[in-house]
């Protein structure tokens, strides 16, 4: 499995049977714009954690060009049908699971908010637990720390957790270390940092603090690919 990180929370996951694009915020993302253009992205599936502009991003353009299946909470899915007249959507909701030909997905709780850039209600925010090709990935989405992560760590052997560390809008570095303690992933990768001035973080220092606490962490540069 290959995961190409574009900065912020945007990444492309290459599975054996499908290519998944997560939170495709490319246009206006100073980390992503130098390394990828929306037109290059031809996913089979787009996973949206919530409706905020820095996650919704280029979803409309990329979905309409690639005819990708958009998977999100059902409020977002219904809005996509009504507002964008795009019907290849799959609405789910917190705690729900579904099996697809390429893998198994569960929408997890995320302690955050979710409205579209124009203020339209975007349901509740989520994270994604993805099991595919023998690996389990946990994209936490935008979230603060919450104690049910303990259960997620107990019930799942997580290979890679994508932890927000930028603070201000989500967990910051120290809470992300506490999250790793509950989730116990084999590897932690930081996301949602350095995109905007208010979420600037020394990610390498965080990775060292993680290692000192016993949690392997790896910082991906925008454009870099992680192979697991």
Of Ni ion, Mn ion, none, which one does residue 75 interact with (CB within 5 to 8 Å by kind)?
Answer: none
- Look up residue 133 and give its two tokens: 């090709």
Identity of the residue, 75 or 142, whose beta carbon is nearer to Mn ion in the bound complex:
142
For the bound state, the minimum distance from the C-beta of residue 112 to Ni ion, rounded and expressed in Å, comes to 6
Asked whether position 8 contacts Ni ion by CB under 5 A, the answer is: no
For the bound state, the minimum distance from the C-beta of residue 79 to Mn ion, rounded and expressed in Å, comes to 18
Of Mn ion, Ni ion, none, which one does residue 131 interact with (CB within 5 to 8 Å by kind)?
Answer: none
Identity of the residue, 1 or 140, whose beta carbon is nearer to Mn ion in the bound complex:
140
Check if the beta carbon of residue 100 is closer than 8 Å to that of residue 92.
Answer: no
Check if the beta carbon of residue 183 is closer than 8 Å to that of residue 159.
Answer: no
- Contacting residues toward Mn ion, per CB under 5 A: 54, 142
Check if the beta carbon of residue 155 is closer than 8 Å to that of residue 108.
Answer: no
Spatial CB neighbours of 68, under 8 Å, sequence gap ≥ 6: 21, 43, 44, 45, 46, 62, 88
Contact map string, positions 26 to 65, toward Ni ion, x by CB under 5 A = --------------------------x-------------
For the bound state, the minimum distance from the C-beta of residue 55 to Mn ion, rounded and expressed in Å, comes to 6
Q: What is the CA radius of gyration of the chain?
A: 16
- Look up residue 143 and give its two tokens: 């979230």
Range list of β-strands (E), 23-170: 45-47, 69-73, 89-92, 97-100, 103-109, 126-132, 135-139, 160-164
For the bound state, the minimum distance from the C-beta of residue 227 to Ni ion, rounded and expressed in Å, comes to 28
Identity of the residue, 103 or 164, whose beta carbon is nearer to Ni ion in the bound complex:
164
Q: Which region among 14-22, 27-35, 37-45, 138-146 touches Ni ion (by CB under 5 A)?
A: 138-146
Identity of the residue, 58 or 142, whose beta carbon is nearer to Ni ion in the bound complex:
142
CA angle (93, 141, 84) in 5-degree steps: 60
Of Ni ion, Mn ion, none, which one does residue 58 interact with (CB within 5 to 8 Å by kind)?
Answer: none
For the bound state, the minimum distance from the C-beta of residue 199 to Mn ion, rounded and expressed in Å, comes to 9
Asked whether position 167 contacts Ni ion by CB under 5 A, the answer is: no
Using alpha carbons, list the distances in angstroms from residue 193 to 54, 72, 164, 174, 184. Answer: 12, 23, 7, 14, 21
C-alpha distance across the termini of the chain, in Å: 6
Identity of the residue, 88 or 115, whose beta carbon is nearer to Mn ion in the bound complex:
115
Identity of the residue, 152 or 170, whose beta carbon is nearer to Ni ion in the bound complex:
170
Asked whether position 142 contacts Ni ion by CB under 5 A, the answer is: yes
Which residues here bind Ni ion, judged by CB under 5 A? Answer: 52, 142
């Amino acid at each position: 499995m290959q995961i190409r990180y574009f900065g912020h929370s945007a990444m492309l996951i290459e599975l054996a049977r499908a290519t998944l694009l997560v939170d495709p915020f490319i246009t206006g993302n100073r980390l992503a714009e130098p390394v990828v253009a929306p037109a290059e992205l031809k996913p089979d599936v787009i996973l949206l954690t919530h409706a905020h502009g820095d996650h919704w991003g280029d979803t409309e353009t990329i979905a309409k060009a690639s005819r990708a299946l958009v998977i999100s909470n059902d409020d977002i899915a219904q809005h996509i049908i009504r507002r964008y007249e795009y019907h290849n959507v799959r609405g789910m909701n917190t705690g729900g699971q579904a099996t697809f030909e390429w893998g198994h997905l569960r929408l997890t709780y995320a302690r955050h908010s979710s409205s579209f850039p124009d203020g339209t209600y975007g349901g509740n925010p989520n994270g994604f637990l993805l099991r595919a090709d023998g690996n389990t990935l946990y994209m936490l989405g935008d979230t603060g720390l919450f104690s049910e992560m303990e259960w997620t760590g107990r019930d799942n052997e997580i290979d890679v957790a994508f932890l927000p560390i930028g603070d201000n809008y989500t967990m910051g570095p120290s809470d992300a270390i506490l999250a790793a303690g509950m989730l116990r992933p084999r590897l932690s990768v930081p996301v949602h940092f350095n995109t905007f001035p208010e979420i600037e973080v020394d990610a390498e220092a965080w990775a060292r603090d993680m290692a000192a606490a016993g949690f392997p962490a790896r910082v991906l540069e925008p454009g870099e690919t992680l192979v697991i």
